[in-house]
Structure 1
Amino acid sequence: MLEGVLPYAESNKSTAPASAKNTLGKDDFMKLMIAQLSNQNPLNPMDGQEFSAQLAQFSALEQMTNVNTNIMKLIQSQQAATNSSMINMIGKQVDVQGNTVAHANGETHNLSYSLANEADTVRVEVYDAIGTLVRSVTGTGGKGNNTAVWDGKDASGNSVPEGNYTFQVKAIGPAGNSVDAATFTKGTVSEVLFENGNTYAIVNGAKISAENISRVSL
């Protein structure tokens, strides 16, 4: 083999740098079009329709690039507004979609829920962390938002230990049918967390996103 000449198999190896781009932007497109015009055959110049089509493609590419830029700016603006509104919630009480109750000694809890339709009977069941039924209390049965009060005691009247509890709503309508219920919990926003481009309110030790907060009050 001659010195300085590589075998065929080796000469076919790609020499493209690892950082080579996989996509073309509008600047690359323009450079390619100018190079094409500069190197065209003078005896066989580019057809006018073909040139117009390439100009239209370039225009469309530029518009898409501008749209993407404006969308990114809009997303950043919305994120900044969300961050500001979440910060203003610190120290305020919020209603959150969910069924978790953080209980401390001596506390009484309003267990909030919303009924899809009116119900004749509503039973709200409170469970401990391992799923054992602790207490069953009676709730109101009006269509929409309702509240049942749990005094923090078990069925025997004893105060339950501190910790996290959950509750379920079982509502029965006039015809004996089950009525759908959505549960809510109340808590105070203790801090705001910014994580991976998302914003969360910390309520009862849990991360809550803005869309899961249904009400804010002092």
Structure 2
Amino acid sequence: MITPTQSTTPTTTQSQTAPQSMAASVASDFDTFMLLMTTQAQNQDPLEPMDSTEYASQLAQFSMVEQQVQTNDLLSELAMSLGSVNLEELASWVGMDVRTTAAFRFDGEPVTLSAHAVPAADSAIMIIRDSDGAVIDKVSVPPTEAGFVWAGTASDGTPLPAGTYSATLESYDGEELLSAQPVASYNKVVEAQVGDDTVLLTLESGEVVPAGMVTAVRTGG
């Protein structure tokens, strides 16, 4: 039966200590390099002095190495920062109720479903399917309504067992089928992980959806 409704700290310490240690190492190496170069200049053969361009070349090479080390430090800090942001974002998803068009979990309580029939439709039918894709109920609904409450019963009124279900809203103009679109519902997020350029959410129904499919979020019950 379907009823229309009214419309952390340890990581920070490590990230600070490593760059400081590396900076100290670079400074020490630079002092050592300058000492060696000065000693080399003092002890060179006065009859065959080293070309000044060679000193400049050595200094330039060391400067390039120093810049590369500093660049690597900055990239490491950025990577650690991004990793921290991802963890915080992932943690914020877990336990929340998110609205998507994925299959939903039914546990005996009525489920709120959301869908819009196409404007040209003069009638609409809500199709309910079980986890195997078998149609278990077809109910006519007002095409002007966007929210519906499914009581979790079959077409003969028999209560259905707890499990995973999905719904589709079919829009008709007379006998002509105009569209068949998946219906949205709320699911609790039980796990969040980083995928390819997106956050993947594992729902209580067992479905895994990208965060981009979420159209609404609310505090989990």
TM-score (norm 1): 0.53
In the other structure, the counterpart of 2:188 is 188
CA distance in 1, matches of 2:138, 2:216: 26
Residue 153 of structure 1 aligns to which amino acid in structure 2?
Answer: T
State the shift of 1:130 in Å: 3.1
Q: Is 2:128 aligned against 1:126?
A: yes
Higher relative contact order by CA 8 Å / sep ≥ 6: 1 or 2? Answer: 2
The residue aligned with 1:206 is 207
Q: Is the 8 A contact 2:129 2:136 kept in 1?
A: yes
Q: What is the SS of the residue equivalent to 1:88?
A: helix
The 1:83/1:134 distance shift into structure 2, 3 A limit, reads: same
Instruction: Report the CA distance between 1:159 and its aligned residue.
Output: 1.0
Once residues 109 and 118 of structure 1 are traced to their aligned partners in structure 2, the CA distance between those partners, rounded to angstroms, is: 27
1:87 aligns with 2:88: no
Q: Distance in 2 between matches of 1:214 and 1:203?
A: 14
1:158 aligns with 2:162: no
Once the two structures are TM-superposed, the CA of residue 83 in structure 1 deviates from its matched residue by 4.9
Give the superposition deviation at 1:216: 0.8
Counterpart Cα distance in 2 of 1:78 and 1:118: 47
Question: 204-213 or 181-190, which moves further after superposition?
Answer: 181-190
The share of aligned pairs that are identical, in percent, is 17
Distance 1:172 1:77, change over 3 A: farther
User: Which amino acid in the other structure matches residue 187 of structure 2?
Assistant: G
Q: CA deviation at 1:210?
A: 1.1
Q: For structure 1, list consecutive stretches of 5 or more residues without a partner in the other structure.
A: 1-69
Cα distance in 1 between the residues matched to 2:198 and 2:80: 11
CA 1:141–1:85 in 2, change beyond 3 Å: closer, same or farther? farther
Q: Rate the CA distance shift 1:83–1:146 in 2: closer, same or farther, 3 A.
A: farther
* Cα contact 1:83–1:199 (8 A) shared by 2: no
**Which residue of 116, 136, 139 maps to 1:137?**
139
Q: So what's the TM-score if we normalise by structure 2?
A: 0.53
Gaps of 5+ in 2: 1-73
Q: What code does the residue aligned with 1:157 have?
A: G
What's 1:101 paired with?
Answer: 104
How far off is 1:84 after superposition? Answer: 3.2
Q: How does 1:46-57 map to 2 (within 5 A)?
A: none
Distance across 2 between alignment mates of 1:152 and 1:141:
21
Instruction: Please report how far the alpha carbon of residue 86 of structure 1 lies from its aligned counterpart in structure 2 after TM superposition.
Output: 3.8
Matched residues in 2 for 1:174 and 1:200: separation?
40
Answer yes or no: is the 8 Å Cα contact 2:168–2:180 preserved in 1: no
Match of 2:178 in 1: 178
- Report the secondary structure of 1:156's partner residue: coil
Structure with greater proportional helix content: 2
